Structure 1
């Protein structure tokens, strides 16, 4: 491994790049200004460094004789090459066979850089520049075992135990376990039809108790939010960024698609010319494969370094083989080919959404309402028009008795408060038989509950 292969990894002999603040001005770890940190790193991330064997690896290079790494000898690996039989991209084209061999295969079979293989990180950096118009600068890309892995490590990098964090609600429930382990104070910021409410965000922060630590981080899924289906307009994002500037917030932007822009990552330089206030997460699960377990984070280098330190200690690195397979596919498609595929995936789910919604309207008209999602694969069905206030009881009792299941809204609120909503997915369900029958059963369950409540 040469120094260029893992520039985010430091060693006992080189100064850590994360000692610099977001704007590139060198500042000491753990410095406090006016009672607050001078950057977004947690105490642990600011004081923990990659050391031992991995800390020395960046020093390896031409002219250096190294006795450091206990890498297995590739002569023992039983793989000479791997042939990838690729489907045509959804946007059209031909089947292709691609060989994974030579130096890339050797790298895929070996221990790799904690931040990810340099080939795929370079490709993804070019993608982010192309899609979001961000010239190379004080941001970078790191790989993870899906965006879930990266988000968990990012929370550890920016939150101390017990810290407050602003949460768009309803929120993707997959982020809650890590935050509970950190004993984070999760502050709910309810969405409206355009997603995260800048007005509500401002109201919470303006009235924050003076004797309590102020939140510095906000988590949001701004397009096709899981579960609400809401999406923020460009102006809404600019309004949120203005609040972020006023209160010096870091946005953790969880994204589901490459199809809808501008993103917070693109827009942040209109409010923060120096950048450094948006940490973005992308996943290949919906676009290439869920089982390949690959995602990538894009954002401030010092925060990514904190993530990489966590990776080095937890699992050394993300599967190099998965990275190499994805890279060969992406290299074959090119950026435009990949974006075309992403658009076609979005169109695929949009067609399913339309059929699914038609079935929902047929059976739930007058009983429920929802925002039609422009991305994602869920409907967030509000049953309050039918007088339902607690969907958990409805699903656990009446709906289950009818033979239909959905996710109660309670699961998507950090407080576990009762909710009249249920989340239903249209990604894999049979649209001709299961969807209509499922909504018919759900409607019957609602009527049963209404009779129990004396509403019918």
Structure 2
């Protein structure tokens, strides 16, 4: 069977979730979404006063080291020729910009970088200034972990699309969260399944207030939610007063960009305030920089910043300074051009990778052809495989091939016929075909063991 293509539908497509009439009600009370800890915890005395430092105020506050003692005079970044066609060039971080990058900084991030990112979000997601802001973190996962703490009490229920990005599971397990699995279909998070779960929720059981989703190029499923699908989910969210945690690290790895929950929420929630969005530089600039940013309601992002202030003061200001220098040098147009080139790069790799998968797995497996991301989520149920963990640990390992069993992406650790394979860095000419040939042989061996051949 051929893989199922993703259909990114236009938002005008008819929907089983008709939109409610738009009415501008009272402002959203974000404290309703905050955990008990977040409601009662504030930034300590010193950091709490730092925003009051202005040029006309004599400040004796912080014990910042004097930059005259720092040994760095400048940092020059030598940029290689970019995949977007820019030539090799250099930019230098020095003077006051370097002093700021080497010094203790605001918990929410360097002001100049936050301003740049705010303008980018306004442009890309078509949002006007309002009761939302941007905060920096040591990767989007750092921000998501802190957001979980900001909106969940220990033991609280949370709705998670499944299969789910496994990187969030440790943070949720530390909170002893009750993870309610909402299975995806070929267009990602299913509004129908979400509605079924919430409409039949037991009256005597605490109801979820938060939902987590990776809507574009989902890791691992490869699914991408269309604009209409997102609007359908937002309608269910409106009915049940939910907060969406939109984890979107692969957002820029598709062309054209798919409207985000953060963009679309005002069509359902005129006063907004129901989406916290997480972006990452890992797929565009560098994974090792550990730099991401959250965008959403000010009250919730403040709770994240309070957590940052107590945990690590702030994200590396030097990393922010380096990224900020590059982004200022490129400008928004340059950044978006780079993103489009990165998207084209991974699309080309996907096409070659999928061709190899077709050659060896057609008839044995199916998958969604991803419009973004770095993965194929291979369903081996057409071959009669119901437990990929067993296959990977025995037959596949014996053949010399590894993939991630689907069980790893379910909070319940339930058996799965899927495996996740990545095309981001593997050698496409030799290793990918060889790997798929070995996986096909492993599937056939398992079929023999199960008496299917």
Smaller-chain TM-score bracket = over 0.9
Q: Is the 8 A contact 1:172 1:226 kept in 2?
A: yes
Spell out, residue by residue over 1:7-50, the C-alpha distance to the aligned partner (whole angstroms, 9 max, x if none).
xxxxxxxxxxxxxxx9657x7xxxxxxxxx95211111111000
The answer for the alignment partner of 1:189 in structure 2 is 182
Query: Are 1:420 and 2:417 counterparts?
Result: yes
The answer for the alignment partner of 2:151 in structure 1 is 158
Cα distance in 1 between the residues matched to 2:179 and 2:84: 41
Query: Are 1:92 and 2:85 counterparts?
Result: yes
Q: Is the 8 A contact 1:23 1:276 kept in 2?
A: no
3-state DSSP of counterpart to 1:285: coil
Q: Is the 8 A contact 2:31 2:299 kept in 1?
A: no
Taking a change above 3 Å as real, the CA distance of residues 114 and 24 of structure 1, as seen in their structure-2 partners, is: farther
Q: Quick one: which of 246, 257, 263 aligns to 2:251?
A: 257
The answer for the alignment partner of 1:44 in structure 2 is 37
Query: Are 1:320 and 2:314 counterparts?
Result: no
Q: Quick one: which of 434, 439, 452 aligns to 2:436?
A: 439
Query: Are 1:402 and 2:399 counterparts?
Result: yes
Q: Quick one: which of 114, 118, 121 aligns to 2:114?
A: 121
Cα distance in 2 between the residues matched to 1:219 and 1:453: 37
Shift of 1:88: 3.3
> For structure 1, which segment, 94-103 or 197-206, has the greater mean C-alpha deviation from structure 2 after superposition?
94-103
Segments of structure 2 that go 5 or more residues without pairing to the other structure are 1-24
Q: Is the 8 A contact 1:165 1:218 kept in 2?
A: yes
Cα distance in 2 between the residues matched to 1:127 and 1:414: 34
The answer for the alignment partner of 1:15 in structure 2 is none
Shift of 1:71: 1.0
Shift of 1:349: 0.5
Query: Are 1:286 and 2:279 counterparts?
Result: no
The answer for the alignment partner of 1:338 in structure 2 is 335
Shift of 1:73: 1.2
Segments of structure 1 that go 5 or more residues without pairing to the other structure are 1-21, 28-36
The answer for the alignment partner of 2:271 in structure 1 is 274
Q: Quick one: which of 425, 429, 453 aligns to 2:450?
A: 453
Query: Are 1:239 and 2:246 counterparts?
Result: no
Cα distance in 2 between the residues matched to 1:52 and 1:399: 57
Q: CA RMSD in A?
A: 1.3
Alignment map for 1:215-226 (pairs within 5 Å): 215-226=208-219
Shift of 1:423: 0.2
3-state DSSP of counterpart to 1:362: helix
Taking a change above 3 Å as real, the CA distance of residues 72 and 24 of structure 1, as seen in their structure-2 partners, is: farther
Shift of 1:110: 0.5
Which one scores higher on RCO, CA 8 angstroms, separation ≥ 6?
Answer: 2
Cα distance in 1 between the residues matched to 2:420 and 2:350: 13
Cα distance in 2 between the residues matched to 1:126 and 1:60: 24
The answer for the alignment partner of 1:386 in structure 2 is 383
Shift of 1:301: 0.4
The answer for the alignment partner of 2:169 in structure 1 is 176
Shift of 1:96: 1.6
Shift of 1:202: 0.2
Q: Is the 8 A contact 2:251 2:258 kept in 1?
A: no
Cα distance in 1 between the residues matched to 2:333 and 2:50: 35
Q: Is the 8 A contact 1:257 1:342 kept in 2?
A: no
Query: Are 1:138 and 2:124 counterparts?
Result: no
Shift of 1:58: 1.8
Cα distance in 2 between the residues matched to 1:240 and 1:183: 26
Alignment map for 1:299-378 (pairs within 5 Å): 299-378=296-375
Corresponding residue pairs, total? 425
Shift of 1:68: 1.9
3-state DSSP of counterpart to 2:76: strand
Alignment map for 1:71-110 (pairs within 5 Å): 71-110=64-103
Q: Is the 8 A contact 1:165 1:186 kept in 2?
A: yes
Query: Are 1:67 and 2:60 counterparts?
Result: yes
